[in-house]
């Protein structure tokens, strides 16, 4: 039965609203654009025209998957981060607005250095942090490191999509192992590691636990495994005076800050995201002394 894009949009939005999806207006538009292969501008241009049965059926199929809990980003295959486009898939976490604060602070630190700079995006996923830094700070080169082959494929595609071949590279690496000396040193190391405590994974929202990669979520018994290791083992990858920046989960900021204190980092700061939650913990590698080894420090952790 013939239907206009306008009616298809209204029906899709109504179904999403009825399911309690807050961004029903935006998601209805994105689902139809994905089904029709149109940009938002093209959809608005053609809104009064009749669509095809094929597009209507494809929209309904995407809508059914969305109502079953599948994230909208995976359905349309891309998402925006800091205004840049990124391919996404279930091989990596979806870039989130909360993480844009981490990207902005990392870029601020890069801009403090005159001349050319280097940033390491560890546990890179889609590569959104390192790619954004390289795209928006023109004097910066980035290295993206992840253990997942699927995530590295996304990194490769996103480097090309944002036309950064030559200034951004991707490498396979394990954040829980010491880095190769061949990596060299960086002005900024930015990391959004797995930080959900293992016991809390089952209570995550259906759209997260059943669709996003568990490898990128599980942070160990207390959620701090990656922070403990990275603050020490990856410090040789930071130049003296370089900055380490982490995204952290709710209630983890002070614990991560204390790990950095024990590891000898200076100028430690905690920054809230736009929702008022402590989201980023950062510290600076001392310029004139070695960092102690916190993995062999028996002092009881605070917090």
Q: How far, in Å, CA of 36 to CA of 59, rounded? A: 8
What pLDDT was estimated at residue 287?
85
Beta-bridge mates of residue 189: 120, 244
Q: In this predicted model, what pLDDT tens digit does every residue of 73-89 receive, in sequence order?
A: 999 999 999 999 999 99
What pLDDT was estimated at residue 1?
59
What pLDDT was estimated at residue 291?
54
What distances in angstroms separate CA 67 from CA 59, 61, 143, 214, one per listed residue? 12, 10, 37, 22
Beta-bridge mates of residue 246: 191, 281
94-296 is classed CATH 3.40.50.150:
yes
Prediction pTM value: 0.89
Site of tokens 């410090």 = 235
Per domain, the residue ranges of the chain are 5-68, 94-296
Site of tokens 């902005």 = 104
Residue-averaged pLDDT of the chain: 93
What pLDDT was estimated at residue 289?
61
118, 218, 135: which is closest to 175 by C-alpha? 218
State which residues of the chain have pLDDT below 50: 293-303
Q: In this predicted model, what pLDDT tens digit does every residue of 125-168 receive, in sequence order?
A: 999 999 999 999 999 999 999 999 999 999 999 999 999 999 99
């Amino acid at each position: 039965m013939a239907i206009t894009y306008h009616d298809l949009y209204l029906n899709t939005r109504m179904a999403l609203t009825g399911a309690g999806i807050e961004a029903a207006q935006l998601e209805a538009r994105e689902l139809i654009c994905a089904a029709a292969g149109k940009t938002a501008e093209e959809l608005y241009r053609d809104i009064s025209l009749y669509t095809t049965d094929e597009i209507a059926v494809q929209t309904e199929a995407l809508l059914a998957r969305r109502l079953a809990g599948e994230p909208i980003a995976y359905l349309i295959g891309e998402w925006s981060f800091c205004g840049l486009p990124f391919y996404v898939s279930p091989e990596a976490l979806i870039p989130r607005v909360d993480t844009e604060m981490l990207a902005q602070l990392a870029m601020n630190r890069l801009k403090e250095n005159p001349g050319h700079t280097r940033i390491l995006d560890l546990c890179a996923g889609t590569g959104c942090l390192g790619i954004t830094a390289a795209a928006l700070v023109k004097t910066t080169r980035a290295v993206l490191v992840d253990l997942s082959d699927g995530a590295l494929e996304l990194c490769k595609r996103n480097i090309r999509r944002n036309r950064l071949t030559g200034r951004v590279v991707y490498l396979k690496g394990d954040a829980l192992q010491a880095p190769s000396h061949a990596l060299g040193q960086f002005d900024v190391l930015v990391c959004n590691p797995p930080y959900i405590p293992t016991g809390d994974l089952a209570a995550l929202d259906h759209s997260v636990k059943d669709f996003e990669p568990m490898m990128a979520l599980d942070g160990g018994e207390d959620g701090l495994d990656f922070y403990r290791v990275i603050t020490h083992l990856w410090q040789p990858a930071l130049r003296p005076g370089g900055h380490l920046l982490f995204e952290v989960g709710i209630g983890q900021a002070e614990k991560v800050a204390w790990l950095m204190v024990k590891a000898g980092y200076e100028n430690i700061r905690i920054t809230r995201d736009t929702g008022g939650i402590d989201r980023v913990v950062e510290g600076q590698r001392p310029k004139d002394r070695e960092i102690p080894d916190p993995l062999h420090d028996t002092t009881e952790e605070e917090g």
